Amino acid sequence: MSNQSERRKGRVGVSSCKGVLRLSLPRFLFEGKRKHLYLGLQDNPDNRKLAEAKARQIEADIIYERFDPTLERYRPQNTVAIEQPKTSETLVQLYQQYIEARRSSVRPGTWRGNYLVALNHIRRSPFANVDPDLENTGYAQKMLDWASQTLKPDACRRLMVQLNACLKWAIESKRIKLTRSPFESMAGKAKKRIKKSEDEETDINPFTKSERDAIIEAFKTRSQHRHYYHYVAFCFYVGCRPSEAIGLTWNDISDDLSKITFRNAIVAAVGGKEKCKGLKTQSKRMFPCNNQVQELLREIQSTRQSSNGLVLTSTKGKVFSTSYFRKVWIKVLDELGIEYRKPYQTRHTFITLCLDVGRDAKDVAKWVGNSAEIIYKNYAGYRTELSVPEI
């Protein structure tokens, strides 16, 4: 290919930058500065012909002294830009390019319901600004970890499918230097996690009220475990997800302690844990505090405050570690002689006990962030003592 400096004066070149066609304009027209006119067209044979025609038009205008220096006559929707040094694109920027390239070939419903939804998930994830060309950080696996904790199971799987397609497209169009998509196996892993997540939601083996009270009392009175007492009691009394409990701040609780608004969750992220806006199934949820919960919150207020405003924290006032807590949880249940259940069963216990005392399933669903259908199907169905009344 001849060097650009060897072109005859007034020649307009056609080239491709990351798969998008552009015109290289003569430098003498812009005081020696290099400028490109981006056409917004993917590099393929048909679009090449259009770009060549546009280049010949500009060359003719230069010869006949009718060249428009503002470039408005030749400009498509994109703008002309002085060439800048290349910078690494972020994951969200790469995905935006991918869906723009796909836009003309998909239905509007697919564009809105799949591509734009996935784009929104990526934007609010802790990984929106990672360099997609650097797989040594393991960001794909961490993105799956975040998505499986933050999104509904099927939404997590669809996001992994979208990201895998995006990275494959980026590799084929030479936008990134990777040889394979780091998301290649993530959709399959997401499927396995869907089953695991569904098992966690539907594996309902709640504690009895007496078992619940014994567990709370053990954490409260045994000095070596006392630090976890507030967390255990809160999860039993409120029925929230662990990620919602450890993400709760005092700003989320009304001054009179009568209302909690869950609006954040703390999930796995690069280098540790990160707070994310929104909950697994909704943007936020209000929980009305009874006297039991209010008294617990007063207790927490009087004993400690974290520097970052978190309600439930580690011994050093940092983010609560649910992974380390599980080791203590196993030990306490074993000492009490209570059948082992995962800590998530605190949520199932709250829901089941609410139904046992006659609370409407629709109200309970609203408090815990489930659908009424799930409450009726899984929790009401679990209550084998239910029978048709004689009327």
Q: What is the pLDDT of residues 203-230, one digit of tens each?
A: 788 899 999 999 999 999 988 888 999 9
**What does the pLDDT read at residue 232?**
96
Rounded distance between C-alpha atoms, residue 137 and residue 151, angstroms: 22
User: Structure tokens of 156?
Assistant: 């997590």
The mean per-residue pLDDT over the stretch 41-45 comes to 80
**What does the pLDDT read at residue 108?**
75
Residue 6, pLDDT above cutoff 60: no
The sign of the dihedral angle between the CA atoms of 97, 100, 105, 106 is positive
Pairing of strands 20-25, 13-17: antiparallel
**What does the pLDDT read at residue 2?**
41
Rounded distance between C-alpha atoms, residue 264 and residue 245, angstroms: 9
The mean per-residue pLDDT over the stretch 229-253 comes to 93
**What does the pLDDT read at residue 5?**
42
Rounded distance between C-alpha atoms, residue 10 and residue 61, angstroms: 10
User: Structure tokens of 349?
Assistant: 């216990």
Rounded distance between C-alpha atoms, residue 338 and residue 357, angstroms: 23
Q: Going along the chain, which residue ranges are E strands?
A: 13-17, 20-25, 35-42, 80-82, 259-262, 264-269, 272-277, 285-288
The owner of tokens 């590099």 is 43
Report the range of poorest mean pLDDT among 37-41, 92-96, 347-351: 37-41
Residue 317, pLDDT above cutoff 60: yes
The mean per-residue pLDDT over the stretch 329-351 comes to 92
Q: Report which of residues 258 and 376 the model is more confident about.
A: 258
From the list 88, 96, 60, 74, the residue with the least C-alpha distance to 22 is: 74
Q: 3-state class of 345 per DSSP? A: helix
Report the b/e string of 185-211 with b at 16+ CB within 10 A: ebbebbeebbeebeeeeeebebbeeeb
From the list 3, 116, 305, 384, the residue with the least C-alpha distance to 13 is: 3
Q: Residue 86 — very low, low, confident or very high, per pLDDT cuts 50/70/90?
A: very low
The mean per-residue pLDDT over the stretch 317-326 comes to 84
Ramachandran region, residue 356 (left: φ > 0; alpha: ψ -120 to 50; beta: rest):
alpha
For the chain, what is the total number of helices (H) and then of strands (E)?
16, 8
Q: Residue 388 — very low, low, confident or very high, per pLDDT cuts 50/70/90?
A: very low
Matching CATH number, 203-382, of 1.10.443.10, 3.40.47.10, 1.10.150.120, 3.30.1280.10: 1.10.443.10
Report the range of poorest mean pLDDT among 67-81, 223-237, 243-257, 315-329: 67-81
CATH of domain 91-201: 1.10.150
**What does the pLDDT read at residue 262?**
94
Listed by start position, the domains of the chain span: 4-82, 91-201, 203-382
Q: Residue 3 — very low, low, confident or very high, per pLDDT cuts 50/70/90?
A: very low
Q: Going along 245-352, which residue ranges are E strands?
A: 259-262, 264-269, 272-277, 285-288
User: Structure tokens of 215?
Assistant: 């567990």
Residue 151, pLDDT above cutoff 90: no
From the list 221, 229, 216, 153, the residue with the least C-alpha distance to 187 is: 153
Instruction: State what percent of residues in the chain have pLDDT above 70.
Output: 84
Q: Residue 358 — very low, low, confident or very high, per pLDDT cuts 50/70/90?
A: confident
